[in-house]
Amino acid sequence: MTDEMFSLDGRVAIVTGSGSGIGRATACVLAEHGADLVLAGRRPDPLEETAETIRGIGRKALVVPTDVTDDVACAALVDAAVAEYGHLDVLVNNAGGTISRPPEEWTTKQWFAIINQNLSSAWFMSKLAAIPMVAQGRGSIVNISSGASFLPLPDVAPYGAAKAGMNSMTRSLAAAWTPKGVRVNAVACGAVKTEGYQYSADKANVGDDVLLGPGNALGRIGLPTEIAYPVLFLASDASSYCSGQTLWVNGGQKAPGPT
């Protein structure tokens, strides 16, 4: 039996980038705990696959293909959610991604693409989702950040900058909206076995657990569900006294070695 504090019965959640990886795992975990879902992403077919799984759990799923770097499309997504369900309770800003190359090889176009995909999208969605949430006096926004926001990773500098901006935005929006009943938090992910991670591992011609990131104490990469459950915590009443926080879920940090 689901713990009452983690129950999302009667609540509606938008999850962006929910066609695969962390987004799909998060949508399914939220559904398992009672939420009805609105699934957003650029590719309709993976979204439909996620929707089929959620409906198999016994929850509702609305598919709304969306480019979340477009503020007009984001507005249509929120409007569709409210029109379908009558309210909106949870937003998970998961859509994002990056490419890897030395700083001097990044073009201006690539810089703005990464900033828009990872930061602007969360800004647009949060502002729009907050409108019905503030009106009803309750809501939770969870941003999917990255350990790149804390670590000096030279080949993903624009991505790290975008995610650091997301952490700051999380605190600022929490300060604005928590008094109105809308909590805003973030989960910063370490290395997680997603399509993007697998692509990087294959490109580098290394095994699955090689690209761990600095100081991973567990010595393995995470699974998408190991991010989804922290998101559930922040989306649910289990974290009712938590707002403006960024939880770094990264396999732990190793103690310094002997000198």
Query: If you write DSSP's letter for every residue of 153-222 in order, what string do you get?
Result: -GGGHHHHHHHHHHHHHHHHHHHHHGGGTEEEEEEEE-SB-SHHHHHHHHHHT--TTT---TTBSS-SPB
* Cα distance between residue 117 and residue 21, in whole Å: 16
Positions marked active-site? 159
**Alpha-carbon gap, residue 115 to 243, rounded angstroms:** 24
> 137 in the Ramachandran plot: left (φ > 0), alpha (ψ -120 to 50) or beta?
left
CA distance 89 to 94: 16
User: What is the per-residue burial (b if ≥16 Cβ within 10 Å, else e) of 117-143?
Assistant: bbbbbbbbbbebbbebbeeeeebbbbb
Helix (H) or strand (E) holding 132: helix 121-136
How many residues does the structure list for the chain?
259
Q: Which residue shows structure tokens 């016994």?
A: 58
Largest separation between any pair of C-alpha atoms in the chain? 61
